[in-house]
């Protein structure tokens, strides 16, 4: 499966489709991360995307998040509502990260232009969201190099030559 998806398709197929069905591990990389709410099946109201991640952690899914800068106060307020995120979700701050991807179980992935924000991936109306696109795939020839790129940044393989280490955290850290 290789699907070119845009705008609301990204939300439907990735945020509401791929992410909640992750079984073992979820890797997310984004340049920008903001508070984002989603409508999930069985929920009466929209919930923070961080609530979806909390539900995955409760099911035993390992989550790694790489982002380029610290999120704003609204994200932090939602983050603080989910103590499981503090102790179980791993995250790395890397100011050089500009790639955007979501990899589920090492076998399915979205990669494209959308940051992990409401305007990029969230349930915003067409008049309030960015124009985004990307690929949703389970093709090993696409997923495997994406996993390698993510893992390389995660391991710090680029840190020695980066020149911006003083702006990073201490490497892989628990949130």
DSSP assigned state of 117 = S
Of 69, 52, 65, nearest to 122 (Cα)? 52
Question: What is the bridge-based pairing of β-strands 108-112 and 2-6?
Answer: unpaired
- Residue written as tokens 């696409």? 142
Residue 89 and residue 142: Cα distance in Å, rounded? Answer: 25
- Residue written as tokens 């990669």? 111
Q: Low-confidence residues of the chain, pLDDT below 50?
A: 171-175
Q: What is the pLDDT at residue 170?
A: 53
Q: What is the pLDDT of residues 89-117, one digit of tens each?
A: 999 999 999 999 999 999 999 999 999 99
Q: What is the pLDDT at residue 160?
A: 79
What phi and psi, each to the nearest 5 degrees, are found at residue 64? Answer: -125, 135
Q: What is the pLDDT at residue 169?
A: 63
- Residue written as tokens 């929209």? 46
Q: What is the pLDDT at residue 163?
A: 73
What phi and psi, each to the nearest 5 degrees, are found at residue 167? Answer: -95, -5
Q: What is the pLDDT at residue 143?
A: 98
CATH number for 51: 3.30.870.10
Q: What is the pLDDT at residue 128?
A: 87
Domain that holds residue 16: 2-174
- Residue written as tokens 């079984």? 23
Of 81, 62, 65, nearest to 116 (Cα)? 65
- E-assigned strand segments in the chain: 2-6, 25-30, 37-38, 47-48, 62-67, 90-93, 100-104, 108-112, 133-137, 173-174
Q: What is the pLDDT at residue 72?
A: 87
**Number of domains within the chain:** 1
């Amino acid at each position: 499966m290789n699907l070119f998806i845009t705008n609301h398709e990204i939300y439907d197929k990735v945020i509401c489709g791929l992410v909640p069905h992750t079984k073992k591990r979820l890797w997310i990389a984004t340049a920008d991360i903001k508070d984002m709410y989603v409508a999930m099946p069985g929920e009466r109201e929209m919930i923070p995307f961080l609530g979806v991640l909390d539900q995955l952690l409760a099911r035993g899914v390992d989550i790694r998040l790489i982002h380029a800068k610290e999120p704003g106060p609204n994200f932090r307020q939602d983050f603080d509502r989910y103590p499981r995120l503090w102790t179980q979700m791993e995250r790395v701050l890397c100011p050089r990260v500009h790639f955007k991807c979501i990899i589920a179980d090492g076998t399915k992935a979205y990669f494209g232009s959308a940051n992990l924000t409401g305007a990029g991936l969230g349930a915003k109306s067409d008049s309030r969201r960015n124009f985004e696109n990307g690929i949703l795939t389970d093709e090993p020839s696409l997923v495997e190099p994406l996993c390698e790129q993510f893992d390389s940044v995660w391991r710090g393989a680029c840190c020695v030559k980066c020149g911006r280490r003083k702006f990073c955290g201490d490497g892989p850290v628990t949130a």
